[in-house]
Copies of this chain bind each other. A is one copy, B any other.
Amino acid sequence: MVVTGHTSSEGAPGEGAPGQGTPAERGPGGETARSVSIRDVAAAAGVSYQTVSRVINGHPSVKGSTRDRVLGTIAELGFRPNRAARALAGGTAQSVTVLTSNTTLYGYAAVLEGVEEAARTADFAVGVRVVESAEPDAVRDAVARATEAAGALIVLAFDRAGAAALAAVPDGVHLVATVETPVGEAGAGRPWVWINDREAAVTATRYLLGLGHRTVHHVAIPSSAETGQRLAGWQSALAAADAGIPPAIQAGWDSRSGYQAGRALAADPAVTAVLCGNDDLALGVTRAMIEAGRAVPGDVSIVGFDDTPQSAYFVPALTTVRLDFTELGRAAFALLHERISGRPATVARLDPELIIRESSGPPPTGGA
């Protein structure tokens, strides 16, 4: 029943055992061997190091027989090119690091997944660095580390910490940001990629209004700015429909925070529809409503945001707005790659989509 850190017994098979052909000298104490370099390979294959370099880079002007011989030697010696050396000499690092305030929340994790996937197919290494907070020290440090680690940066600027980090990135660094809204000051003058959260919120709000609800309440996630885009969209849709605009409840990201908001909302019988800033919040709100004896969607309709993989299996299944964060990540990388390599990329367009499931419906007939 424990997490155990355990070093398998010293001298165990496979650990520090002399490799079959690694040439570099080991210290007498059995230290780790120095890794095989192209010069080692060259010597063993009887060619120059440049030829080895050509072979590993697939350069065309190498005779077939030579190539085969070198390739054989490479396999035999277990040669692996050193990325640091390559980056240093070649100038181009072939790596991105993702700068974010979080790696586990659905949206962030999905963007990261998309970036990794795209980066992998482009043969880029990907790094991750989290910015713990929006405090200047934390931000400065994070940006410094991230920029020294890689040639390029993708900053997830959905929240305060991310936006602060984005603003702190020095010029001359290859950079793409994923932002809430392109007009924010943090994103000024820098290439970005986004999902139109605002429009998505408008759509969701209109949908609820169309169902007959007098108004829609909102439980908001933290944002990168004073008012988030989801909140702004909700407000504007309400205004456009001449519906009352109740105060938004500012929450965090997680279900616990949604639950607390939900308890407050459940106490108010006028609440018949709630738009939540994400699906986790929606889960918490739903639970609070049900605990308070208010049926979902019978008494209260609840709509989420993001369409996490779980939300279709909630009870009731959650009506939500699907946002393709993974694709957003891919797009961010594509844009970055384009700026680094000059090769233009096509960035997919994709629309948020309202997924209507069980948690929403018309307001109660006798209700508000």
Contact = CB atoms under 8 A, between A and B. Distances in A.
Interface of A: 1-8, 12-17, 19, 22, 32-33, 35, 78, 80-85, 87-88, 93, 95, 97, 103-104, 106, 109-110, 112-113, 116-117, 120, 123, 125-130, 144-145, 147-150, 170-172, 182, 188-196, 199-200, 254-256, 258-259, 280, 283-284, 286-287, 290, 309-310, 312-315, 317, 324, 327-328, 331, 334-335, 339, 345, 347-352
A255 B83 contact: no
B104 A3 contact: no
Contact of A5 (B129, B193, B196): B193
Contacts of A284: 313
A180 to B, nearest CB: 13
A189 B17 CA distance: 11
Nearest to A36: B172
A171 B345 contact: no
Contacts of A280: 309-310
The 5 A-B pairs of least Cβ separation, nearest first, read A5-B347, A14-B189, A84-B87, A255-B313, A12-B189
A171 B17 contact: yes
Nearest to A13: B189
Nearest to A334: B5
Contact of A127 (B32, B88, B126, B334): B126
